[in-house]
Amino acid sequence: MITPVKAEHLREMFPGEFSSETSVRFDERQKRVTSSELVKFRDFVISESSGGEPPKDEAARILVEKIFENPAVLKSFDASAKAFVERVNFVAAVCPESGISPIDAAALREIFLQMCWGSYSLSQVKNLDAHSALRDWLSPGQQAFLKYAAPKSVEISPRRCPAEIRYDAAARRAVISASFKDLFSFNAKSVSICGGKVLPTFEILAPNGRPVQTTSNLEEFWKTSWAEVRKELKARYPKHFKPDSPY
């Protein structure tokens, strides 16, 4: 017959083989970080009890991993936040004298760690402000330089909302998409990227919203390629070319 061995008997027999530790983990059912106190005999868990509030640093680290696994859990880490990251990385690459460091994966983890400090559940994480956390990566002076060197948008036509500038840090490109009608009277020199270090690339859009031409020299495009492009567009979209149209 097998006789159960009680923990207190084992402790009397092998006092040096017992240990206790705190286990911090993510509870998938509760969707939160929990803490447990474990009593172990060698490698066997003898008992487990609630450990109360988990350490803030460990809870933040676990929640950041959850964000990296599924960024959608952080609602504010949206297209606008990701565009901000790309702008920062663009300026860091083109203007190293600014002292702006790129937001790579390691930096993003650090930013999210600070943001998640004091949170324990995904319900808390989903409403955190990623935009503020990302801006705080930069000093006030660096934020001002970013605004100057890599503007978010540019006004192409007073009749329309400003056109977003799409940055590609790896390719060191800044792309502006707008209708050929709006770009025809636009002064390309009015937009400056990194103090003129990078010429903006213009995507010239047809009436259907699709690019018909890409150029970094808008003035030269109107002098050379526009005549042929205009001929094709006029054949496809005659209503957009009135007799008194300047283009």
Q: What is the pLDDT of residue 53?
A: 84
Whether residue 163 is predicted with pLDDT greater than 80 in this model: the reply is: yes
- Give me the mean pLDDT over the 80-90 stretch: 98
Round to the nearest angstrom and report the end-to-end CA distance of the chain.
99
Q: What distance in Å separates the CA atoms of residue 124 and residue 135, rounded to the nearest whole number?
A: 20
Q: What is the pLDDT of residue 26?
A: 94
pLDDT band at residue 33 using 50, 70 and 90 as cut-offs = very high
Q: Which residue has the tokens 């989903």?
A: 126
Q: Which has the closest alpha carbon to 188: 159, 148, 155?
A: 155
pTM above 0.85, yes or no: no
Whether residue 191 is predicted with pLDDT greater than 60 in this model: the reply is: yes
- Give me the mean pLDDT over the 206-230 stretch: 95
Q: What is the pLDDT of residue 17?
A: 63
Whether residue 9 is predicted with pLDDT greater than 90 in this model: the reply is: no
Are the C-beta atoms of 156 and 182 separated by less than 8 Å?
A: yes
Task: Tally the C-alpha atoms within 13 A of residue 236's C-alpha that lie toward its C-beta.
Answer: 10
Whether residue 43 is predicted with pLDDT greater than 90 in this model: the reply is: no
Strands, DSSP E only, in the chain? Answer: 18-27, 32-41, 44-50, 153-154, 163-168, 173-179, 201-205, 211-215
Q: What is the pLDDT of residue 129?
A: 98
Q: What is the pLDDT of residue 130?
A: 98
pLDDT band at residue 51 using 50, 70 and 90 as cut-offs = low
Of how many residues is the chain composed? 247
Q: Which of 35-39, 131-135, 138-142, 206-210 has the lowest mean pLDDT?
A: 35-39
Percent of the chain with pLDDT over 90: 76
- Give me the mean pLDDT over the 62-71 stretch: 97
Q: What is the pLDDT of residue 14?
A: 62
